[in-house]
Amino acid sequence: MRMLWYAFDEALSSLWRGRRSALLAMATIAIALFVLGASLIVTGNLDRLGAEWARAAELSVYLSDEVTPVDRHAIELAVARDDVTAGHEFVSKAEALRRFKQTFGDLAAAVDNVGGNPLPASVEVRLRPGTADGPGVEQLATRLRQMTGVADVRYDRQWLTRMLRGIRVIRGAGFALSSMLTLAAVLTIANVVRLALHARRDEIEIMQLVGAPRAYIRGPFVMEGVIQGGMGAALAVLGLGVVFAVLQSGYLMPLAGALNLSSVQFLSVSACAALVAGGMAVGCLGGFVAGFRS
């Protein structure tokens, strides 16, 4: 405990003496973790969007106007018996028109002008969670297309697949960028600590000559790195919070609404804590690398 207190005390004094370079190191790690945090926020919300879309994914079976009750029954039976379906609903031509007018009120007059009801009847199929991007849906769609009375089959798989691929790319790019920035942060911290080490070489030599435990010699440098890393990470989380709060009402919520996402979420408390802990670990590594030769 005494050693920890000594290391903390010495690290704070050293940081204050070299505050300019320490600020630079903190800014570097703050930028690295800001990018990582932003990437986590974006991919986290995209994951949720993907999950919500997958849950809401529907397969629409459009029926031809000439479909007979027997054909329709056969189609509904084929849907109901398939493993990928969670349920289905028949939407008549009249119901389809009513829903269209409700959703697109401005276009209702245009539909009336066309004369008659141009919208087809359909069977809306709810898919089981986790099956939307699987092969079973494709097989069901192929079978349905071949049935009498089916005009077309549409479902969201391509969208989902593209979106999931996009999420993976964004996540990979975010991690790659933040990894490079984190490496830069480690090197910056190591150099700042090395400067502090150089400034205190007389003290270190005396410590070595009087037989100070190695923990007392290296501890302050490692602690210096930990403090820089922790403060940089805390700055990053604070910055993310401020940017998120500023963008939330003006941009993020309308965007979420447009994408049918229930809400846009910030990082969880545990993710914030993990970011700060990660920053401290990065700083610790930098301090250890610099202090290793002492």
Residues that bind another protein (CB under 8 A): 2-3, 6, 202-203, 205-214, 216-217
Nearest approach in angstroms of CB 198 to another protein is: 14
For residue 46, CA distances in Å to 96, 169, 237, 248 come to 31, 12, 20, 16
Nearer to another protein, 20 or 81 (CB): 20
Report which secondary-structure segment, H or E, holds 130.
Answer: none
Return the SS3 of 184.
helix
Nearest approach in angstroms of CB 277 to another protein is: 28
Adjacency order of strands within the sheet including 85-91: 85-91, 122-127, 58-63, 150-155
Nearer to another protein, 114 or 209 (CB): 209
Nearer to another protein, 168 or 214 (CB): 214
Tokens in use for 74?
């056969």
Nearest approach in angstroms of CB 13 to another protein is: 9
Exposed/middle/buried for residue 61 (C-beta within 10 Å: 0-12, 13-18, 19+): buried
Nearest approach in angstroms of CB 192 to another protein is: 19
Nearer to another protein, 83 or 202 (CB): 202
For residue 290, CA distances in Å to 195, 235, 256, 286 come to 9, 23, 46, 6
For residue 45, CA distances in Å to 164, 242, 267 come to 12, 18, 10
**Angle in degrees, 0-180, between the axes of helices 135-145 and 69-81, rounded to the nearest 10:** 170
DSSP notation for 6-68: HHHHHHHHHHHHTHHHHHHHHHHHHHHHHHHHHHHHHHHHHHHHHHHHHHH-EEEEEEPTT--
Nearer to another protein, 73 or 214 (CB): 214
Nearer to another protein, 52 or 203 (CB): 203
Nearest approach in angstroms of CB 178 to another protein is: 38
Nearest approach in angstroms of CB 232 to another protein is: 26
